[in-house]
Structures are given as structure tokens and as C-alpha cells.
Amino acid sequence: VDPRIERLYRLAAGRAGAAVLLGGGLPSAALFPRARLQAAFLRALAQPAGALQYGWPEGHERLRAWIAARVAARGARVTADDVIVTNGAQQAIDLAVSTLGAAGALGDGGWRIGVDAETYPAALDLFRTRGALPVVGAAVRCRYVMPHVSNPRGLALDDAARAQLLASGAALIEDDAYAELNFSGPPGRPLAADAPDRVFHVGTFSKVLCPGLRVGWLIAPRDAREEALRRKRDLDLQASSLAQSILVEFLDADDFDARLARARAYYRRRAVRLARALRRRLPAWRFRMPDGGFSIWCETGEPGDDIALLEAAVAEGVTADPGRLFRADDASAPVALRLCFSSAPVAALDDGVARVARAWDTWRRARDRERVVERSML
Amino acid sequence: VDPRIERLYRLAAGRAGAAVLLGGGLPSAALFPRARLQAAFLRALAQPAGALQYGWPEGHERLRAWIAARVAARGARVTADDVIVTNGAQQAIDLAVSTLGAAGALGDGGWRIGVDAETYPAALDLFRTRGALPVVGAAVRCRYVMPHVSNPRGLALDDAARAQLLASGAALIEDDAYAELNFSGPPGRPLAADAPDRVFHVGTFSKVLCPGLRVGWLIAPRDAREEALRRKRDLDLQASSLAQSILVEFLDADDFDARLARARAYYRRRAVRLARALRRRLPAWRFRMPDGGFSIWCETGEPGDDIALLEAAVAEGVTADPGRLFRADDASAPVALRLCFSSAPVAALDDGVARVARAWDTWRRARDRERVVERSML
């Protein structure tokens, strides 16, 4: 992340209630099941030592069984033994890419990973740190994809694109972080069901339940499982026993499908509200209505510096995510923004977009003034 | 970890109450402050979104301030800004070694890290995974040390050894996991106080409070802090918000120094019990009484296969940690065992050692029979 962007995020977050946060991709705190998590915590603590003691690196057996059953219900041949519990999806992606890298599956001299034209920023950063170059549209031996709900676009792969992806023969890191939040209902077959020998399936409770538990998972191809588990142990021994024990107790007592159905309806309503505000206040911007997830990807079609745009937005009391974060080549132009409808109070969405529109005007005027100056200096 | 050792550990753990666990290095569940953690959890949940939402990669500000104040009280110039909250000490060690590696501080072609003749096994595994060769007694540009309470020996560095270490000019990864559990009282100056520009200071709540929270920390030299934080974010975005919020509330209401004093007395009593049993039942074994920590390092002085010895122990209903785990060269002989007094019921320590003694007899007879066979085949 560019330190200028980080600084602006922190500036806006420090203003607490005074800013409308349309950046960041946070789930809505209104959906966090506090009372049920509290009850689950009390039950977890009442068990013998487990919740507070060390556990095995692969994670809590009952939690792995729950995860495996859900993925298996979607058509994949997965058992609890195939699941490694991780610190969120991010660590699962790291395990996948480093296991692939160690196996030579990312190519010889210089690793490359295929990504969408816009994709999850922290995955791009991670790939670079691990020495893998994210590339768009090239022939690669490994691809990172979010087939059911992409980030930032919130779109699902259509059947043709999915078939093409599977036919490529590449190793696939399938990030299902938002998959359960496709507005049209539960996700279908994971890629891991169709190519179990080369799909690393990644999931998390962060978007559908709450991020604070920091629990995700990796389902690696059988051949890679031992190496992935060895790496998990080396990285940090294990995921939090406490968070896992809370989850096991929580899931035991919860109607998780009903919870997901409520979350889909909740986020869809917000997506509609944000889209309406965008059409009204920024009619020149282009976007596709998302199939699910937390955000709308807005393309302005204009040149310029998206960090300066974020700066103008923060000055107006609103945040948004600059498009460059989502691009493998870090390009600012054509300027785009990810706007999240997920966590701001729903009544604030319209006001938030009004602030973005004001920032957009300010930024455009400043940009055009600079151009005049530049031209006059030639 | 050798898969044979792993299999034996799991076998013994599966027998639950039937085996005496003298391996593993677990803290005593009797010391886990369940009621206070429960109260802290309820207070944490009552706060606005923080405990269940995403947080910053460096961790919770109040927790970092608490950690910094404790390390500063020991003489280091440390503020909250210097602290990165991690998933236990293990991740802090990983951040340290990978940050050093990226900076070229581990040497050119082939990284090497100096370690004690016996040291923390998961650090050895981690170094190897990161491409760094752990070496004993060689000139190196980086050393991994536990200056206040070592693992497995439980010994503190004396002043001369400490001075020599600091004079070496090497980068130091200072693992303080057990430091607060030196039986003689609070630890003195951290190495980070004397060489802040080249010490990566590592700590954790796992030994002194409970491992289930999975919270540790890294204090990196100022020059390396930004890179370490970038890596923390890439690895898994952040440590658990929930665990950090619980800790903040817990520490606010706890007399932590009194808690540590009780823990020191508790573990010292157990160390004495285990030592007495060892002298009585295995008088030929050599060990030094530990200064602190969870374990006694027992040297048999004999050749042989320590995994076979663990196998015999598990057959007798007791576990111990084979010496090879702690050695950079993975050597089995001279056979040694780490015996932990920390987590088994205190009344079971004597029985546990009796089982180890029986396993030792069985193993020696089997070893000597094999030798006779080998000799007769020559």
C-alpha cells in the first residue's frame, strides 16, 4: 500500500463519526451476532482446557469438520482432514502461494501469478513480497481468482469463463471470501470440486460472521497438504484456540444458512442504495451492478492521480479506495474508485456519495488547472 | 518435526487421561484466569465495533502501549509505536528472520543463523523453511537467543556471556517468551536496551497467561520496523481483534506482577518435584537445575535413537521431547530428553518419571540386544 493512501485512511478513521467510510471493505457491525458469540464464549470456556491451551497446527477438529461439510455440500470431495484453519483468508493465500512456489509450480527463474485486471489488493502485495509477479492476461502456471464474487467488482464468473479457467490446466488459488454473499443465493460448485488436484480453496468467516475472530481456512490439493501444514506450523504454530472454540460452539447453536440469507438481503439493499446515489450524483461514472459482495467498482474514464482524489474525498469527510490498489501494475489512470456499501450507516450512503461528488469536482478543477499551468510552461 | 515424533505425540494425546504428558511445553491450565478472561470478554464486547471488526496491522493501540511500558520499565527505549502485535512469538520470530533476510543481514549466498547447542525446535524449523541454516558456534551475522530463560535448558545467560553476545556486533533475535518465568524474579535489561539498532525483541502472552489467545509481539529496530510491519500485513493482515481487545480489558483490571509472582512460585515448586524424582529414579542422568521456564534438559550420555526412546515412553504412558528436536544438526546422540514439569498434575510428576525410567530400561535392553545382533552379523 502506498504510504500516502495509508496516511489518508488513518486520518479519516481518526475522525470517527465525522467521516463516511466508503472505503476499506468492512462488513457491517450491525450484523455481528454479539449475544450469540458471548454465549458461545461462555460455553467454550466451560470446556476443559482446549479454548485457552495450545492446539494442533491444522486446527480444531470439529471446526474443520464443519468447514469440510459445507464445501462438500457444494460438490467437492473434502473431509475434515483436508482443511487447515488459518488466520483469515490472507494467511491461507500465503500458504497456497508459498507452497506452490516451493514446489516449483510458479515457474522457474521468477514466479508469476495470473490475476484479474482488478483484484484484491492485499493478495497483490503478498504475491510481490513472496517474490511472485502478478500479471494480467498472460499465460501462467498459476492463477488467483474469486470465481463466485470478485473483489472489487462483486461479479461471478459466467460458465464460459469458468470452463476456460479450468481448461487452462493452471494451478488455481480460489478465494471464496465473499462467495456466500452472492445476492442470488448460496454459491455453486467450487473450482476445487472440478480440479481438486490443482485448486487451493480459500475461505473465511470474516465477511459472513465477523473479522475479529481472524479465522479462515485453506483446503489444499492432497499432494500439497503436508507441505502447506508444515508451513502453517512454521508461520505461527496454529490459529487461535480461543477463536476456534468460540466458533465451534457458535456454529453448533446457529442457523448459519438463515444468517447468510439475511446478510445477502441486507447487503443487496445497500448495494441498490449506493447504485442509485451514484447514478443520481455521478451520472458520468460507469459501473456494473454487483452480483454480491461489499462494493461497487466505479470507472471515471478520466486520467489523473487517484491518490489526489482520495485526498480531496477525505477533505470532504468521506473515504473510498483508489483504483490503483486493485491493479497489478499499480496504475492510477484511468481513474477508478471502489466504493463500499457494506459498513457505513445506510442513511449515510447518499450523503457519502454527495461528498464523493464534491471531491470529484474539486479534484477535476485542480487537475485541469495544473494542466493549464503545464501547457503554459511548455 | 520428524513425522514419527508427531505420530507418537498424537497417539499419547489421544489417550487423554491415561498418559502423563512430560513433553510439549504447555503452560499449566490451572493458572489460566478463566473468570477474569470471561469478564474481560464481556467488557470487550460491550465496546463499539472494535473487538469483532478489522483493526490496524500493527495491533491495538492500548495493548501496544502496555507492552511498550513493560519493556521500557526494564530499561529499553520503547514506545507503543515500536510494537507490532503478532500471532504469538512464533510469528514475531518469522517477521524478524524474514525482515533480516530481505535486508541482506543474514549474509549473501546462503543465510545462516547462530543458535545455542540446544534451542527452541519451532525456531529451527522456521529458519530452515525461510532458507536460513541454523548453526552452532560459528561466526554469524545474526543470532537467535533466549537470554533470560532458555528453552529447553531453562537457564539465564551470565553477565560475561551476555557481554560477549552484545560485543559480537551480530543482529540478535531476542526471544523473551519465558523471560518473566525466571524463578528468581522479574527479568532485567533486555538485549534490546543495549543494542536497540540490531535487536529484534520477541515476547508473548502464551507462557505467562494462556496460549489460546495467540498473542505475541515484535519490537524491531527502528530502521526495520516499516518492513516488518509490511510483512505482518502481507502475512495475515493483523492479529485477532477479539483476542487483543480481551487482553486490553484483562490487563486493565489485573495485577499482572502479582500474577507473575504466583506463576514463578508455582512452576518452581514443580521444577523441584521433577528434579527430585529424576535424581531418585534416574541417578545416572545429568541435568542442571533450571533458572526458570517449563522444563529440565536431561542428558543420558548414551548413544542410541531417541525416537525409539519416545516410542518406549509412550508405550509406558508418558511423553517426553526427544533431544534431536532441539539440535540444529538433528542429532539423536548423545541421547537427551526435555522433560516438562509445567502442565502435568503435580502429583503425577513422580509417576511420570517412574514411567520414563521403565521406558529407559526397556529401550536400553532393546538397544543392547540389537548391538549384539549387529556384532554377531559382522
pLDDT digits (tens, 9 = 90+) for A209-243: 999 999 999 999 999 999 999 999 999 999 999 99
Distance (Å, rounded) from C-alpha A5 to C-alpha A173?
27
Specify which residues B337 forms β-bridges with. B298, B322
Distance (Å, rounded) from C-alpha B16 to C-alpha A361?
68
Q: Can you point out the beta strands (E) in B63-110?
A: 83-86
Mean pLDDT for the stretch of residues A168-189? 97
Give A56's contacts in chain B (Cβ within 8 Å).
10
Q: Residue A350 pLDDT > 80, yes or no?
A: yes
Cβ of B243 within 8 Å of Cβ of A245? The answer is no
The edge-to-edge listing of strands for the beta sheet with A321-322 is A295-299, A336-340, A321-322
Cβ of A54 within 8 Å of Cβ of B206? The answer is yes
Residues in chain A: 378
Distance (Å, rounded) from C-alpha A355 to C-alpha A318?
6
- Tell which phi-psi region holds residue B190, choosing left (phi > 0), alpha (psi between -120 and 50) or beta: beta
Three-class SS state of B196: coil
Indicate the average pLDDT of chain B: 95
Lowest mean pLDDT among A105-109, B93-97, B279-283: A105-109
pLDDT digits (tens, 9 = 90+) for B44-67: 999 876 899 999 999 999 999 999
Helices (H) and strands (E) in chain A, counts: 12, 12
Q: Residue A108 pLDDT > 80, yes or no?
A: no
Best A232, A236, A319 member to test B by mutation, with max B CBs in 10 Å, is A236
Best B34, B38, B54 member to test A by mutation, with max A CBs in 10 Å, is B54
CB atoms within 10 A of CB A254: 16
Specify which residues B182 forms β-bridges with. B292
* Local structure of residue B288 (DSSP, 8 states): -
- Stretch 288-347 of chain B: residues touching chain A, C-beta under 8 Å: none
Mean pLDDT for the stretch of residues A145-174? 97
In this prediction, residue B259 carries a pLDDT of: 98
* Nearest residue to B159 (alpha-carbon basis) of B195, B192, B191, B182: B191
- Whether A243 and chain B come into contact, CB under 8 Å, resolves to yes
**ipTM score assigned to the predicted complex:** 0.94
Give A21's contacts in chain B (Cβ within 8 Å).
none
Pairing of strands B336-340, B295-299: antiparallel
Q: Residue B109 pLDDT > 90, yes or no?
A: no
Q: Which of A50, A94, A233 sits opposite B235 (nearest CB)?
A: A94
In degrees rounded to 5, what are phi and psi of residue A219?
A: -115, 105
* Start-to-end Cα distance in chain B: 34
Lowest mean pLDDT among A294-303, B100-109, B174-183, B301-310: B100-109
Cβ of B38 within 8 Å of Cβ of A37? The answer is no
Residues in chain B: 378
Up-side HSE of residue A350: CA atoms within 13 Å toward CB?
Answer: 5
Burial A34-59 (b: 16+ CB within 10 A, else e): eeebbebbebbbeeebbbbbbbbbbb
In this prediction, residue B137 carries a pLDDT of: 87
In this prediction, residue A70 carries a pLDDT of: 97
In this prediction, residue A18 carries a pLDDT of: 82
- Closest residue on chain A to B37 (Cα): A45
Mean pLDDT for the stretch of residues B2-17? 88
Mean pLDDT for the stretch of residues A172-190? 97
Give B233's contacts in chain A (Cβ within 8 Å).
1, 122, 125
Indicate the average pLDDT of chain A: 95
Distance (Å, rounded) from C-alpha B293 to C-alpha A50?
22
Whether pTM exceeds 0.90 = yes
Distance (Å, rounded) from C-alpha A214 to C-alpha A234?
18
Res. B139 pLDDT band, cuts 50 70 90? confident
Res. B102 pLDDT band, cuts 50 70 90? confident
Q: Residue B319 pLDDT > 90, yes or no?
A: yes
Distance (Å, rounded) from C-alpha A260 to C-alpha A331?
35
Res. B224 pLDDT band, cuts 50 70 90? very high
Distance (Å, rounded) from C-alpha B376 to C-alpha A284?
92
- Whether B26 and chain A come into contact, CB under 8 Å, resolves to yes
Q: Residue A173 pLDDT > 80, yes or no?
A: yes
Mean pLDDT for the stretch of residues A138-159? 96
Lowest mean pLDDT among A19-33, A83-97, B6-20: B6-20
Give A26's contacts in chain B (Cβ within 8 Å).
53-54
- Whether A239 and chain B come into contact, CB under 8 Å, resolves to yes
Answer with the residue of higher pLDDT: A130 or B342: B342
In this prediction, residue B108 carries a pLDDT of: 63
Pairing of strands A321-322, A336-340: antiparallel
What is the percentage of chain A residues whose pLDDT exceeds 70?
98
What is the percentage of chain A residues whose pLDDT exceeds 90?
89
Give B11's contacts in chain A (Cβ within 8 Å).
none
- Residue A98 to residues A94, A106, A174: CA-CA distances in angstroms? 6, 10, 15
Give A51's contacts in chain B (Cβ within 8 Å).
212
Q: Which of B125, B211, B235 sits opposite A241 (nearest CB)?
A: B211
Give A245's contacts in chain B (Cβ within 8 Å).
212
SS (H, E, C) B250-274: HHHHCCHHHHHHHHHHHHHHHHHHH
A-B Cβ pairs (cutoff 8 Å, strict) = 160
What is the percentage of chain B residues whose pLDDT exceeds 90?
89
Q: Which of A10, A125, A214 sits opposite B234 (nearest CB)?
A: A125
